[in-house]
Chain A
Amino acid sequence: MKKEVFSGQRFRTYFKYDLAQMWRNHMKAAIVIGLAGLIYYIIGIAFNATFNHVWQAPGFRGRMIVFILSAVALQLYQARTYGYLTDRRKGAAWLMIPASAFEKWLSMIIITLLVIPVAFLCTYAAVDGILSLADPTYGKVLLTSSTQFVKNINEALIETNAEYNTTWNLGVFVLPMLVSHCVNYLYFLLCGICFKRNKILWAILLVFGISIVWSSLAAFLGINYSIEIEDVEEAEVVIRQALIWTNILGCLLTAALAGGIFYRIKTLKH
């Protein structure tokens, strides 16, 4: 019975297959998103050469914005990676593959939360590195610049701690970022395997819908988010509490979304 739920050998075979499918079917889109930095670089160079008559690569801020936009685009794209499950022909063929719902779910989660983001980061970093080596006007790679950026924030936090007797460190922001990553990716994945058409659009509209309903409900119930803070020490307590609640809520949302994806796989019919 346990073997019907999970078998290591069967999972390995299925995971390799799933990876190969992902690579074959979504490689082009992933490459385009991963090459956004290069596209921005070419546009920036062309713009400067045409209008300013200089060979000048785009600056750090612009590159950082493009990187963030690419990361957002990749999140939205999750609505399409397994979107074929709602297609009658492809979805039926997928359901009939001899692997358990749990194995298919696990493979989906690993690919969505780990493989795709890591592949994206590697592609982006590689392109960034090559451009940095090839063009002296490009400056440092994003990772180095970002590290410097993080160091600056850290130094600012240390100064704040010394001045106001607080205990901030960057570590407290790591978990919220990871949780947010999981929630966003899983949300778009779930929407992708639920909506039949216009998956990305429906996913975005649903977020708007939920926000509107929640805001209306909060207004109706008289929930007030505003907090009066007297001093920095009190602010730390409030922010730390907010972070804890954000983490708890994020973890619950992640679990709910992952559970929703499993339920959808288990009950999908064609």
Chain B
Amino acid sequence: MITVKNLSFSYGSKRVLNDISLELKGGNIYGLLGENGVGKTTLLTLLCGLKKPKTGTIETDGRDPFDRAPSLLAEQFYLPDEVAPVHNTAFQFGKEHGKLWPTFDFDKYLSILTEFEVDQDQLMDSMSAGQLKKTWISFALACNARHYFMDEPTNGLDIPSKSQFRKAITKYTSEESAIIISTHQVRDLEEIIDPIIILDKEAVLLNASLETISRKLYFDYGSALHPESLYLEQTPSGAIQVYPNTTGEESKVNLEALFNAVHSHKDVVKALFQ
């Protein structure tokens, strides 16, 4: 389990995260949402130990990630938005780089590469951005890590690859893994991410499972307008409205509508989920 307590971080005088507390448990694929510049990438890099918190603490199974203890590094994988080009073929890269992770499964790596239709014999630094990303995703999943930190993993992927990514994430990760995915492409991942964390400037606006969200908020796809709606969006087929769920009736959560509703009524949503 990853425990974040009163975490603050700033770049010089510019504060990015302020007094954030979170608990991230295994067996979940967390969707980390937020506007540009609210600190999603910063939070991910803090969680995996690439940065040191200014104040507050982060503990991953009782260990400080910034210590970068090999035992912890072997259990986690950070996939950045822009992955590194490597002067090596995908095949050889897996063979050499994989030896560094004790739980790396080379056959699994090759299987995922095949599913992603990546040429194993192509040099990675001559691959397209999408192909390179898929190679790194394949590698990450083959590491059999317990904690995954993925920053915009579907950026640069073509439409079939996004679907393959969703399948791969559910197929190739352990049930105990905690996967934290930061994304703007909510439609790409809304089928797999649960719970949802919405970050605002310096704070967490929402951290709840889809079940809880559905219990507290109602997503109405009908055409009858509700004046109590926190968010209303006209669509070609009618409208999407989000309003407090007073009947207990379940509805399918629309992540874009949720995000907009949370942002336009921060205090109402915070009070609802407290």
Contact = CB atoms under 8 A, between A and B. Distances in A.
A96 B83 contact: no
Given A4-B69, A4-B71, A89-B84, A96 B50 contact: yes
Interface stretch (A9-17, A54-62, A186-194, A205-213): A9-17
Interface in B58-80: 68-71, 73-74, 76-78, 80
B68, B82, B83, B101: most-surrounded residue (chain A CB, <10 A) = B68
Contacts of A10: 70
B68 A270 contact: no
Contact of B70 (A20, A93, A100): A100
B45 A270 contact: yes
Nearest to A93: B84
Interface in A10-30: 10, 13-14, 16-17, 20, 24-25
B69 A100 contact: yes
A99 B45 CA distance: 18
B181 to A, nearest CB: 17
B15 interface: no
B99 A92 contact: no
Contacts of A270: 45, 50-51
Nearest to A103: B70
A13 B100 contact: yes
Interface of A is mostly: helix
Nearest to B63: A4
Contacts of A4: 69-71
Contact of A95 (B50, B52, B71): B50
A25 B78 CA distance: 23
Contacts of B102: 98
Contacts, number: 68
B270 interface: no
B187 interface: no
A39 B48 CA distance: 48
Contacts of B167: none
Nearest to A16: B99
Contacts of A197: none
Nearest to B82: A89
A7 B70 contact: yes
A96 B101 CA distance: 10
A98 B74 contact: yes
B92 to A, nearest CB: 9
Given A17-B96, A97-B100, A98-B101, A269 B70 contact: no
B86 to A, nearest CB: 8
15 contacts: A3-B70, A13-B99, A13-B100, A17-B96, A17-B97, A17-B100, A20-B96, A87-B84, A89-B82, A92-B80, A96-B76, A96-B78, A99-B70, A269-B51, A270-B50
Given A20-B96, A92-B84, A103-B70, 4 more contacts: A3-B70, A13-B99, A100-B69, A100-B70
Interface of B: 45, 48-52, 68-71, 73-74, 76-78, 80, 82-85, 87-88, 96-97, 99-102
